[in-house]
A and B are shown apart, each in its own frame.
Chain A
Amino acid sequence: MKGMVFTEFLEFVGERFGEDMVDDIIEVSALPSGGAYTSVGIYSHGEMVSLCGALAERTQQPVGELVRDFGVRLSDTFARDFPDFFRRAGNLFDFLESIEAHIHIEVLKLYPDAELPRFVVEERSAARMVLLYTSPRKMGHLSEGLILGSARQFNVEVRVALETLDVDEGMSTRFVVELV
């Protein structure tokens, strides 16, 4: 997993729960990297799972909620660092559709070794979109947060329903995104 996700996650934890919480979850997680993340590095997805688990335990909050909130924050970072993707899309649904078609392609140009999830648009209408997320990392809640955060970038309010599916290549999550 790209180091940027880790650095952004620790930023998120630091902002919301304080730097000591950052130190605590790093220490209790016994990470192979020792928590010394750089945005350009690549680290095991297991470290993220450990960090999220430690955070949930310490804060007594559900992992899903925490990860979703991190996703919302991560979308702000994306909007700040890569505004062209948002500007070019023009609206939320076009943006979500462009993740698989354009954004991931651009990511792979920069990081050929990146392991990216799949975002397939199953249905789309003016007010509704059905997306199928597939990834061996089971980060469906992160994606939910990213969808919610992206909606905020386009100043639209959405309702997102999740349906978790088991498929051969890992966990899939079907998102039903409806404009409110």
Chain B
Amino acid sequence: MSHDHSFTDDAADEPALTGDAAAGRIARLERRLVREKRARLEAEKFLETRSRELFELNTELRGLTLALEERVLERTAELAGLKEFYERVLDRLPAQLSVLSPSGVYLYTNPAEVSDDALRAWLIGRTDAEYGARTGIPVEGVAARAARIAAVTRDGRSVSYEETIEAGPEHTRYFRRVLAPVSGDDGGVKYLVNAGIEVTGERLAEERLRRSQKMEAIGLLAGGIAHDFNNLLTIVIGVTEALRDATPPSSSHSALFDELLDATGRGAALTRQLLAFSRRASIETQVFDVSEAIRSTENLIRRLLTERIQCVLMLGERLPVRMDRGGLDQLLLNLAANARDAMPTGGQFTVLTCEATLTPEAAEAKGLTAARHLLIEVQDSGVGMPPDVLQRAFEPFFTTKPVGQGSGLGLASVYGIVIQSRGHAEIASVEGEGTTVRILLPLEESIALPAASDTPADVAPRGRGCVLVVDDESGVRMVTTNLLRRLGYDVVEASGGLEALSVAEARRGTIDLLISDVRMPGINGFELATALMAADPSLDVLLMSGYVDDAALRDGIASSGIPLIEKPYRAASLGQQVTKLFEARRAGPARVPTLLREA
């Protein structure tokens, strides 16, 4: 019992008892002591039980604590691992990612979104308005972002959109983005996730492809026109030369015929430009030093530029390139002519050549595949071009010059020549400051020995033999057969491949030379030549063409070793080619064309 009444204290306060009273008192006190003892024992027993329970609980608790600590350590490690995983993934995510509150406050943003660490840390807790004010994002852009955030928060639906960022002068970046809501437990929008990927590369590639397809289509059209025009010119030249040859030199008509031939020559030059642009010109590539080639054209360029324009050449050493040498001359002269027209009051025309260093990405972006490249940079200090003109500068027939002063084929043919030479051309211009054309071409390892010059004489040599002339264009066939007969050859003719096969069959063994157009309906000239040479290996062949639109056919002819004469041709050229073939026939053993050797 917690109350404590001792016998002594009670005895001191009370009068002394005697007899039964004393005995009763003692018995009462003894019972009280028994109760006290019993209570004490019970308390001790309780305390002992409770102590044991507490000890066991404590032991259990310690075990639980240890297990808990272990679990906490495990979970902490797991969480640290997860944190590290997500941080690593988000830090290296090749996409921009931000998490915002429904009110547009940034809660998280990854390095792809904001690469500057300090700026990224600053952005947390701020809005696009503050970000825009600091980084210079236009107000309209900030307003558009805020409107999207409000719409997604309100509707609870994600939106996809494209965003354009002006990253600098003439440097626009394009992004494809998704702004998506993240719901909380109550179903309302708790966060907004904004993910974006940069599609600038794709956009530029699409633009390049679009332009390339446009140029391809125009090229196809131009090539077709050039082909028909070459046929017409071939007839005009053939007839004119026939008439001139039949006219006494003293006749006043003789000079008119010369004038007519001169005009057809200019027409032929135009079709060459067209074909150069359409990349369908027959070209003879060779490896030569670009700088040396430019130096050899320097006088011509200076004459073209006139004295009021200073010509500066900054040419690197040993820059071998594989291309059509004539194509390079044409390219330079076209650029020089444009530069001259852009500098009516004088200025400076600069040509620079050097080896160009391109990163693989830059090369790929320009559609270049070679390992090394050379740069030809042609610059003038002329009037320059406004952006809308610059954008169309390489298009054929696009010109800003007055009617009659420009064909619109100069830069177009430059473009065609460069592309045909597996290169890349680009143009930059600033109004009032001038224009720069940069041309990148694959750099070759070595330079081949220059081929011996073989300038044809202007006189058509006479000869003998039997020639089969095949052309679906009757006018061309007529002037060609007429010319060959005048030169002394026996001529049979056919208007197409099938007819030619019949004629050859009928006159088996009597035909020495086949002269055939390449591009004909049904059997083309190359197929015809192959068939006839298979039947008669001693047959000589000369193919003629205004242009060959099929690349595989063009390559087939080039690798077969069969000579090709380009339309329109002069009588002298055709005569010399035919003579050369007959002379070779007489001089040596039977010629075996490459395609038959391979067969």
Contacts and interface: CB of A to CB of B under 8 A. Distances in A.
Taking chain B's interface residues, is the majority helix, strand, or loop, or is none over half, making it mixed?
A: helix
Contacts of B39: 36-38
A32 interface: no
Interface stretch (A18-26, A63-71, A94-102, A164-172): A18-26
B45 to A, nearest CB: 9
Interface in A31-61: 34-41
Given A38-B43, A40-B47, A14 B28 contact: no
B10 A19 contact: yes
Interface in A1-16: 7, 10-11, 14
Nearest to A38: B43
B42 A41 contact: yes
Interface in A144-172: none
Contacts of A37: 1, 39
A36 B38 contact: yes
A36 B3 CA distance: 11
Given A36-B36, A36-B38, A36-B39, A11 B3 contact: yes
A20 B28 contact: yes
Contacts of B50: 40
Given A38-B39, A41-B46, A27 B3 contact: no
Given A20-B28, A23-B31, A36-B35, A14 B47 contact: no
Contacts of B42: 36, 38, 41
B2 interface: yes
Nearest to B10: A19
B22 to A, nearest CB: 14
Contacts of B3: 7, 10-11, 14, 22
A8 B43 CA distance: 16
Contacts of B47: 40
Interface in A113-147: none
Contact of A35 (B2, B28, B35, B37): B35
A150 B31 CA distance: 36
B32 interface: yes
B46 A38 contact: yes
Majority secondary structure of chain A interface residues (helix, strand, loop or mixed): helix
A11 B43 CA distance: 18
A7 B36 contact: no
Contacts of A10: 1, 3
A23 B50 CA distance: 29
A26 B35 CA distance: 10
B195 to A, nearest CB: 50
B57 to A, nearest CB: 12
A40 B5 contact: no
A155 B27 CA distance: 45
Contact of B43 (A34, A35, A40): A40
A41 B44 CA distance: 11
Contacts of A11: 2-3
Contact of B1 (A20, A27, A36, A40): A36
A40 B42 CA distance: 9
A7 to B, nearest CB: 5
Interface in B41-55: 42-43, 46-47, 50
Contact of A7 (B1, B5, B28, B32): B1
A58 to B, nearest CB: 15
A34 B31 CA distance: 10
A152 B87 CA distance: 64
Interface in B562-576: none
A23 B36 contact: no
Given A40-B47, A40-B50, A41-B42, A34 B2 contact: no
A27 B32 CA distance: 10
A27 B5 contact: no
Nearest to B2: A7
B32 A23 contact: yes
A103 B22 CA distance: 48
Contacts of A39: 2
Given A20-B28, A36-B35, 11 more contacts: A7-B3, A11-B2, A11-B3, A23-B31, A23-B32, A36-B37, A38-B1, A38-B39, A38-B43, A39-B2, A40-B50
30 contacts: A7-B3, A10-B1, A10-B3, A11-B2, A11-B3, A14-B3, A14-B5, A19-B5, A19-B10, A19-B32, A20-B28, A22-B3, A23-B28, A23-B31, A23-B32, A26-B35, A34-B35, A36-B35, A36-B37, A36-B38, A36-B42, A37-B1, A38-B2, A38-B39, A38-B43, A38-B46, A39-B2, A40-B46, A40-B47, A41-B42
Query: What are the 3 closest A-B residue pairs judged by CB atoms, nearest first?
Result: A36-B38, A36-B39, A38-B43
